[in-house]
Amino acid sequence: MYAPRIAAAIALSTVFMAAGCSHPLARAAADTTVTLEFGGLQRQYLVHYPANRPPGPLPAVLVFHGGGGSAQNTASAFGFDKLSDANGFIAVYPEGYEKSWNDGRGDDTNASAANIDDVGFIAAVIDRVIADDSVDPSRVYATGMSNGGMFTEDLGCRLSDKLAAIAPVAGPLPEADVSACAPTHSLPVLEIHGTSDPIVPYDGGVVRITSGHHGAGSSPVLSVDATQQLWREKNACDAVSTTQLPQRTDDGTSVTVRSSECANGAKVQLYSIANGGHTWPDGPQYLPQALVGKVSHQFDASEVIWQFLSQFRKQPG
């Protein structure tokens, strides 16, 4: 039922992303595109330096595009450049292989099907920005949406020695990644997911459109609840407390926040958006609700992500 409509959405999303280049948050011309040879490929990432850069080593937030997206479009659409300028961190936008990331789902993404070593690539990117851009190695964070969110989860499992905290959006942990999920330290995790996401199901199962198949996937993801439980177990967390965000606007969505305090000062948190779709909260309704579901305007996802991530420094592994 969903596959033909969502396939059309993926094709149409390039229209939204092209329009995003004229968005008021579009990247400054002075920002840098870096080419890095890795795994026999010429890989790239974009770097946004904060305006009026403060002295000393700065935090860095790595932001991963979804399947079919790009680094440039993500920089234009999600608002992290503006947050970088206001808060003094470096925003880094890596470019996926054939517009995708190897998040462990096999043929479900182009990068996974080609067995691209994206974890190794991101490790090299982090090393480079620490060396070249005076990034504080204890304050490197990762976030992303959809395929980028699932990849962020996998990085939390496999690259925690270089990350202080992660914040995946619309991207639970792929089931294939569970057995190798071995963070080296207590890793704070913030997840954001809409209960009515028509592409990446909140209750788990196969993703309903993928870059690899251009149709329904074959490698399932955990449910949001199971992903949260996995991170609570990895982080030795206490009981879950639940609060409701106050209604900011009448948009048909509401937000429940579930939080657990964990060992060594870590935290596992979920923003569960009732009736929310495959969208970035407080972002644009980039395609009709019939295709991607509703955008919630109850909170600004980028602001909440930065506020969460910036609390934490990487502990010795």
* Percentage of the chain modeled with pLDDT above 70: 89
pLDDT score at 285: 87
pLDDT score at 214: 59
- For residue 13, pLDDT over 70 is answered with no
- For residue 17, pLDDT over 70 is answered with no
Q: Output the DSSP codes for 253-289.
A: -EEEEEEEE-GGG-EEEEEEEETB-SS-TTS---S-H
pLDDT score at 257: 98
Cβ of 143: how many Cβ atoms within 10 Å? 27
Q: DSSP character for 199?
A: S
Which of residues 209 and 317 earns the better pLDDT score?
A: 209
pLDDT score at 18: 31
pLDDT score at 8: 41
pLDDT score at 31: 85
pLDDT score at 56: 87
- For residue 49, pLDDT over 90 is answered with yes
Average pLDDT, integer, range 236-259:
97
pLDDT score at 70: 95
Q: Which amino acid is present at 250?
A: D
Report the mean per-residue pLDDT for the chain.
90
pLDDT score at 273: 98
Segment 271-314, tens digit of pLDDT: 999 999 999 999 988 889 999 999 999 999 999 999 999 999 99
CA–CA dist 238, 251 (Å, integer): 33
pLDDT score at 317: 55
Segment 57-105, tens digit of pLDDT: 999 999 999 999 999 999 998 999 999 999 999 999 999 999 999 999 9
Segment 159-187, tens digit of pLDDT: 999 999 999 999 999 999 999 999 999 99
- The residues with which 11 forms a beta bridge, in sequence order, are none
The kind and range of the H/E element at 151 are helix 147-158
Sign of CA dihedral 13, 221, 113, 181: positive
pTM of the model: 0.92
Cα-based distances in Å from 133 to 47, 128, 204, 280: 9, 8, 39, 29
pLDDT score at 52: 86
CA–CA dist 7, 234 (Å, integer): 36
- For residue 36, pLDDT over 60 is answered with yes
Alpha helices in 35-117 (DSSP H): 71-77, 80-87, 110-113
